A = this chain, B = another copy of it.
């Protein structure tokens, strides 16, 4: 239940009004925030409190997270001159607080910690658009018109993601999730040509640790057969594709994660239970299923409902 903290009163108390990047940069505070949903809900894994834009911020690209908006860049990436601004990411010197937070958490937790990174396409889209986008027109324009520059940028962002994930695993994270949140803006042909090799290199760059690797995006129904070819153990599924159909597209050798519609949690309990049961039933057609929401928790979600959902899933038997 990614972003499960932001619906919690104890989160807002610890987070305060300051920048989220500042909160992430303080290991004690970031660890406390990571633990809050674990303590509250009794979930089976924790996810690091961080942001996919932390490395880009840490190497000085000029990224901020604007409240109510998302990642913004004062000076977006637009030409080869900007490549120099995407320099290699050195976790131990650029953002040592991430590994420090991981270490604090691993000492404290009795359950696995999931580390994560933004996939090259999704991070690139923020750097190029300069803010969250509906049509990704600058991103795709660069991709189509300057493929050489595109692949250079993607290679650099893949290196950034690899460095970030490796340092989290070395600090003790026992699974990783690669967020390609906006890959669903692409059709399969474009995904294969412009994105797949880079995301796959990130996943392969973490293979030697033997930890489960999860790939995730939304609107990815038409990309699932590609996702099934990525070097990952688990494919995250939003709420649009039922898990039995998702498994048909992905192939029989991947576990799935998801896929309850987060907004169902605003409905009456009978509907929530019914939808959760349906997800669990269909998920059993995959070789493995990690129950989860199909996207992040929303700030307006009711913690009582999330608690009840976790209890319901834990009590479920086929």
Contact = CB atoms under 8 A, between A and B. Distances in A.
A121 to B, nearest CB: 14
A79 interface: no
A264 interface: yes
A151 to B, nearest CB: 15
B222 A241 contact: yes
Contacts of A222: 221, 240-241
Interface residues of A, number: 31
A144 B268 contact: yes
A251 to B, nearest CB: 17
Q: How many copies does the complex hold?
A: 2
A291 interface: no
A19 interface: no
Contact of A219 (B140, B144, B219, B271): B219
Nearest to A138: B266
Interface residue SS majority, chain A: helix
B298 A141 contact: no
B137 A266 contact: yes
A288 interface: no
A135 interface: yes
Given A137-B263, A141-B263, 4 more contacts: A135-B263, A136-B263, A144-B271, A221-B240
19 contacts: A136-B263, A137-B266, A137-B298, A140-B263, A140-B264, A140-B266, A140-B267, A141-B263, A141-B266, A144-B263, A144-B266, A144-B268, A144-B271, A145-B267, A187-B239, A187-B240, A189-B278, A221-B222, A221-B240
